[in-house]
Amino acid sequence: MPIRYRTDEELHNHISNPPASEPLEHADVIIAGSGPVGMAYARTILETCPKATVLMLDIGSQDSAVAGEHHKNSIKYQKDIDLFVNVIKGALQNVSIPPADTYIPTLVGDAWTPPVTDDGPGSHTLVFQGSNPNQIREKNLKAAAMTRTVGGMSTHWTCACPTPHPEEIEKNPIPKSERDKLYQRAHVLLNVHNDQYDKNAQGQDISIRHNVVKKTLLDNLPAKRNVQSLPLAVERRKDNPNYVTWTGANTVLGDPARFGGRFRLRTETRVTKLVPNKLQKDSIAGVLLQDLKNDKDVLATAKAYIITCGAIGTPQVLANSGLQERIPALGHYLCEQSIAFCQIVMKNEIIDYIEKNPAWQERIKIHREKHKGDPLPIPFHDPEPQVMIPYTTDFPWHCQVHRDAFSYGDVGPRADARVVVDLRFFGRQEIRKENRVYFSGQFSKDRDSWVAGSTDIYGMPQATFEVTRSQKDNINDQKMMNDMCATADLLGGYLPGSNPQFMDPGLALHITGTTRIGTDPKNSVADASSRVHGFKNLWVGGNGCIPDSTGCNPTLTSVMIALKGAAAVKELLDGHSHGHHK
């Protein structure tokens, strides 16, 4: 018998006295979301609490033999990175899409068309499933998207893991001395290296392109720009160093078999809502799930609940649980990075330098013996460049000069991809409370529960953005664009079709702040340990927990924050094992 229409009180009673016909699922810890942050929580808890059980839930399916593996580890994508662009496009689902203008003036005859209304221009629209009638186009993060699969974004992320500049983490409530230790642990879990494109154990250059791009920038930019190899969650394969293993969520968890059945992963399961405890206002009694394969509702209970569904999905679950009034900062203080992007074709002088460099002559000779007539002195299997110009006070943006797969920027037949370099500069956004994501619906006193308004394609309350960039942001973005153009000029000429441009808002997929940590419940969602204010057994995790506006990639910092949260979960579980709550 489905239970989806029960009130919160009925759900609570069902959890307290479950009928034999509808048994509850149970684990010591329930984690919603299977990305790197969820896996960091799971691994830390399982390793430090030898008897604890963890139930992990994901709304997506397991799309690889190894749960959460990075799809770019496939050899075919490492041979042709442009092919991976379509994988990313297929994985991303846009968050908020305004209804489109569907007026068809040439439609004639007795074919159905939307009725004309008196609501003014633009009223002749269709509300397709998943589109958002509440979204104001000018305040939308048009390209913001979610990946609903086991492993989440880590199945296709770039694996860039730079450590933030102090200005990018100044509002984080975790003390610096503790942060530094947590960052060290996060580096290990994510398997971060900054030397996998530089030199091998024999002192030979691993990548010609990487080293020549890095050298060009080092020779032409001031030392204070600190040009360096981009820290990446990647390791070159020992069986064939032409290829690498990119970190996925599976890397963070490790082999689940070693936990002896204490870890379970339930896929294609929607986390619908948390059920607050009616008797103990500071705790969660259970969670309502929906098995998407059969549309069956399930109730599950735990000692601790951790929601790591992303910077949009996590506040969505909390809002659908009717917690917005108790958590006033939920969804507010949203920050997203601007992106300036271009692609260049390397200069003749750089190619000439490669051609004449004594260190690379043997490799060039072998390549040309195999591929007679190739005019380029770059072997086909030469790894791509992965270079970073980090954020500084004078240049407050993060720069990646590389060749990688995004949902845009494939080269196709326009040029030989071996001479193409991508430049992506990421700008910060001023922290303002009014920049937010909110979720349609309201709390019904008659039903004692949250009643959703318009919904997304999964039946959850529709996310709507209200985000604008300030004048300060606009000025900084223009300076960033000028810097990118000056940097591009050092390397080559613009690839036609990829001239300098700002990308659609939200395309960075680096949203922060929506579940930010802090000390004041008025302007933060959770404390320094990511425990939600006012609750003793509810945690949040992910990029939304970052309280700062960052220019650099956020995953390393999100995992760092999660490790502190996992320690707090351990304390709670230890309290339970001794017969009391902490």
Catalytic (active site) residue 402: no
Q: What is the CA radius of gyration of the chain?
A: 25
DSSP 8-state assignment for residue 69: -
| Residue 453 CB neighbours (<10 A) | 13
Length of the chain: 582
Q: Counting beta carbons within 10 angstroms of the beta carbon of residue 541, is it exposed (0 to 12), middle (13 to 18) or buried (19 or more)?
A: buried
Beta bridge partners of 401: 387, 423
User: With contact defined as beta carbons under 8 Å apart, do 152 and 162 qualify?
Assistant: no
- Residue tagged active-site, from 140, 172, 211, 553: 553
- Residue tagged active-site, from 156, 193, 367, 510: 510
114-147 burial, b at 16+ Cβ within 10 Å, e below that, comes to eeeeeeeeeeebeeeebbbebbeeeebbbbbbbb
Q: At 258, give phi and psi (nearest 5°).
A: -70, -10
CA 50 vs CA 41, 166, 415: distances in Å:
14, 36, 55
Contacts of 202 (CB under 8 A, 6+ apart): none
Handedness of CA 12, 16, 20, 22 (dihedral sign): positive
**Separation between Cα atoms, residue 453 and residue 441, nearest integer Å:** 4
Catalytic (active site) residue 553: yes
| Residue 26 CB neighbours (<10 A) | 14
**Separation between Cα atoms, residue 559 and residue 190, nearest integer Å:** 9
**Separation between Cα atoms, residue 426 and residue 545, nearest integer Å:** 19
User: With contact defined as beta carbons under 8 Å apart, do 575 and 303 qualify?
Assistant: no
Which contacts of 236-239 are long-range, i.e. CB under 8 A and separated by 24 or more positions?
236/196, 236/206
Q: Counting beta carbons within 10 angstroms of the beta carbon of residue 359, is it exposed (0 to 12), middle (13 to 18) or buried (19 or more)?
A: exposed
Any idea which residues carry the catalytic annotation? 510, 553
